[in-house]
Structure 1
Amino acid sequence: MIATTDQPPAKDATATLMHAEAAEAGAAVARLLAANRATLAALGERLRAAPPAVVVTCARGSSDHAATYGKYLIETFIGVPVASAAPSVASVYAADVAPSGGLCIAISQSGRSPDLLASVAAQKAAGAHVVALVNDTTSPLAETADTLVPLMAGPERSVAATKSYIAALAALALLTAEWSQDAALTEALDRLPERLGAAWALDWSGVVALLRDASNLFVIGRGLGFGMAQEAALKLKETCALHAEAFSSAEVRHGPMAIVDAGFPLIAFATSDQAGDGVREAAAEFAQRDARVALADAAQDGAGSPAALRDHPALEPVLMIQSFYRMANALSVARGLDPDSPRHLSKVTKTL
């Protein structure tokens, strides 16, 4: 268990744009599901009739972490291999893509990064069917898409992407559910907006106390939870000026374990299934070294500290990242920072 703190933050953490926008994730997901069910049902039928040999994802930053989640979804529910395109292959090296006729899933909040657009154009030229998960439907990426999936997150003014990231996760889960026709995942998606509200209300103040004065930490997950570990580590860098590294619980026991000693902080995301078992085992091993462990364990269904909700294992990581966002916003304020305007960052990163 993590001790909570009674010390108030330097200012009202609920007054930030990040707090307000992350709190809207449930409503954004409800809009996304309503707007895209028919589109993705038609795409699912197309993919069942002519399964692609490979799926290629194109994304940067938080969107690439969503793509990691999508990789595990598609590979576990469908069995089609998923690979992440390296945007520099197209934007720097101008290399052609071998004809494949596969599926390209491009994910972006803005849809305007030049290297992303170059990578998608190369995939399309090679015969790929381009599915664009994008928040800005007036963007060049949206215009390029063969299948457009508006994220429906609404305006997002804070530099730190939150509701648009969760909407991208939900879109990938909906695509997978329609493609696989998995009834349990479809049912879980129906209740996801409400469950996101419950996840937002969970108390993660103990993690704020744990990390208020930290300088380094690990974030671990596994399988469908690994993309959340990546996203959490990025958000801690962006909004809290914390050096955070994300690892799979299967990899962290190798070289990274060597730097862990007493007092080293760790956040762990454990789903309720067998992938979560590996995270729980790694967290226990860290605790034996007297590391300071914050284990969000969905198997405890809200009983742990920090609390995590039990649901369909494929959607538990989505609920965890929603709880994490509220904590990260509060931690940023507690560390005297502005989560809406991280140093040296802008909303659209135009990498060439």
Structure 2
Amino acid sequence: MHTYNEIMKQAQQLDKTKEIVQSLTFNEDAVDIVLFTGCGTSFYLAIAAARYYQSATGEVAVAVPASELFLHTDTHILSNKKYNIIGISRSGTTSEIILALEHLNGSENIRTMAVTCNGDTPMAEVANEVIALNDISEKSVVMTQSFSNMLYALQLYAAKISQRVELMNQLEKIPALVKTALGNGEQLKQVTEDLTKKRFIFLGSGAYNGLAKEATLKLKEMTQTECESYSNLEFRHGPISIVDEATVVILFTQKETKDFDQALIKDIQKLGGFVGVIGIASADLEADLIIRLSEDIDDLNRLVEVVPYFQLLAYQRAIFKGYDPDKPRNLTQVVSL
């Protein structure tokens, strides 16, 4: 299974990514807005990366789907602002990314960076800077270690730009924490091997909202399961109406949300929903499944530590239901227009 092998080898790849990014130097000229962009998984990565970057550097950062940049340029790009546009693509050949970068290429107020697992591509050629993780060559259709490594690379990039040593010190612990996480997947089977559960919902706020969206996509890609994602407290504003005994809610808890999460968990459970929590959970937190993460690093710096859990959840569910994760329905590794 290519998908399984690529999930389980993430820790050693993260060590290589750390070495690559730490060896690079970057343009640090000031801009007004750092805009992260991608398609599908790479766009969800962009959401998490943008929120991390803004927190780490104090600079304005946003995330936009790549197609928006050439379809609706004026709604995202202002002529009187300077931009660093960071395009994300595993293959470096995604049509919309290339179209977006080519469309903006040559603008005096814009510089570009390509983040990819293939540095010898049109995307890399058109960008002003490149973070190329060439040692990652996924054979799987769905993105797994490419997602975690490109996100980690962008966190390391933000730490370098910010010159905040404490961020880099925490990020350097990530490969070891991911290795531990990869060994903790068995506890997910009480969810993944229960066929009475038909619907999955992932809740994450802040940078974790990008992870919640990616978790949803992984489960859809591998199993065609009905699933959705929301910001934690937004869930009560309508979506909670679909909760019943067939519903699983996976909630990414954080320091900022913990005082509100228990009440939300109880509301979901009253409606029959099964709630799993991933994060630094207090000893008195109650849920149906709790995966407690170490307190070695801050929530924002541990984004990549969370990734293996929802990847393994999707993989385990696919295997249990008899799907082949290496051959997801209706999908190809690269989308070309």
TM-score, structure 2 normalization:
0.89
Aligned residue identity for 1:336? G
8 Å CA contact 1:240–1:331 kept in 2: the answer is yes
Residue number in structure 2 paired with 1:24: 9
8 Å CA contact 1:217–1:264 kept in 2: the answer is yes
User: Offset of 1:328 from its aligned partner?
Assistant: 1.6
User: Offset of 1:144 from its aligned partner?
Assistant: 1.6
Residue number in structure 1 paired with 2:34: 55
- Report the CA distance shift for 1:325/1:292 in structure 2 as closer, same or farther (over 3 A): same
* Residue 112 of structure 2 is aligned to residue 112 of structure 1: no
User: Offset of 1:72 from its aligned partner?
Assistant: 1.2
Residue number in structure 2 paired with 1:323: 309
Aligned residue identity for 1:209? E
Residue number in structure 1 paired with 2:216: 233
Residue number in structure 1 paired with 2:204: 221
Moved more, 198-207 or 165-174: 198-207
User: Offset of 1:278 from its aligned partner?
Assistant: 4.0
8 Å CA contact 1:159–1:342 kept in 2: the answer is yes
- Report the CA distance shift for 1:318/1:282 in structure 2 as closer, same or farther (over 3 A): farther
* Residue 232 of structure 2 is aligned to residue 249 of structure 1: yes
User: Offset of 1:91 from its aligned partner?
Assistant: 4.8
Tell me: higher relative CO, structure 1 or 2? Use CA pairs within 8 A at least 6 residues apart. 1
8 Å CA contact 1:269–1:297 kept in 2: the answer is yes
* Residue 324 of structure 2 is aligned to residue 341 of structure 1: no
The 2-side partners of 1:166 and 1:195 are apart by 13
Q: SS state of the match for residue 307, structure 1?
A: strand
TM-align CA RMSD: 2.3
* Residue 190 of structure 2 is aligned to residue 206 of structure 1: yes
Residue number in structure 2 paired with 1:307: 291
Structure 2 segments unaligned to the other structure (5+ residues)? none
The 2-side partners of 1:173 and 1:312 are apart by 13
The 2-side partners of 1:209 and 1:243 are apart by 16
The 2-side partners of 1:179 and 1:94 are apart by 27
The 1-side partners of 2:98 and 2:49 are apart by 20
Q: SS state of the match for residue 35, structure 2?
A: strand
* Residue 22 of structure 2 is aligned to residue 68 of structure 1: no
8 Å CA contact 1:29–1:153 kept in 2: the answer is no
User: Offset of 1:249 from its aligned partner?
Assistant: 0.6
Aligned residue identity for 2:191? V
8 Å CA contact 2:197–2:246 kept in 1: the answer is no
Q: SS state of the match for residue 274, structure 1?
A: coil
User: Offset of 1:250 from its aligned partner?
Assistant: 2.5
8 Å CA contact 1:270–1:277 kept in 2: the answer is no
* Residue 268 of structure 2 is aligned to residue 270 of structure 1: no
The partner residue of 2:58 within 68, 79, 82 is 79
- Report the CA distance shift for 1:142/1:219 in structure 2 as closer, same or farther (over 3 A): same
Moved more, 189-198 or 71-80: 71-80
User: Offset of 1:61 from its aligned partner?
Assistant: 0.9
User: Offset of 1:279 from its aligned partner?
Assistant: 4.1
Q: SS state of the match for residue 252, structure 1?
A: helix
8 Å CA contact 1:31–1:152 kept in 2: the answer is no
Q: SS state of the match for residue 235, structure 2?
A: coil
Q: Percent of pairs identical after alignment?
A: 23
- Report the CA distance shift for 1:318/1:279 in structure 2 as closer, same or farther (over 3 A): farther
8 Å CA contact 2:51–2:62 kept in 1: the answer is no
Q: SS state of the match for residue 334, structure 2?
A: coil
The 2-side partners of 1:280 and 1:173 are apart by 29
User: Offset of 1:80 from its aligned partner?
Assistant: 2.2
